[in-house]
Structure 1
Amino acid sequence: MQSNPMRTHASSMGRLAARIARGEAYEAAFG
C-alpha cells in the first residue's frame, strides 16, 4: 500500500490549523 503524499500533507496542515486555532482561543480566553 502506498502512502498518499497529498493526504499526508492535508492531514499535517489540518493539525497545524487546529493547533493555531487552539492557540488563538487560548490567548482570547486567558491572554
Structure 2
Amino acid sequence: MHKNESPQILTLILFLTDPLHPTILLFLENKNP
C-alpha cells in the first residue's frame, strides 16, 4: 500500500506553492518519525 506517498507529494506541492505556511511544515514533521 503506497497510499502514504500520495499525501506526501500533495504536501510537498503545497509547501512549494505556499512556503509561508508553517502548518505544512508541522504536518510534515508530524508525518515523519
User: TM-score when scaled to structure 2?
Assistant: 0.50
More helix by share: 1
> Structure 1 counterpart of 2:9, which letter?
A
Report sequence identity in percent: 0
Q: Which runs of 4+ in 1 moved over 6 A?
A: none
Report the count of equivalent residues. 19
SS at 2:13 equivalent = helix
**For residues 15 and 8 of structure 2, what CA distance do their matches in structure 1 show?**
10
2:17 is aligned with 1:17: no
**For residues 30 and 21 of structure 1, what CA distance do their matches in structure 2 show?**
14
Task: Compute the RMSD of aligned alpha carbons.
Answer: 0.8
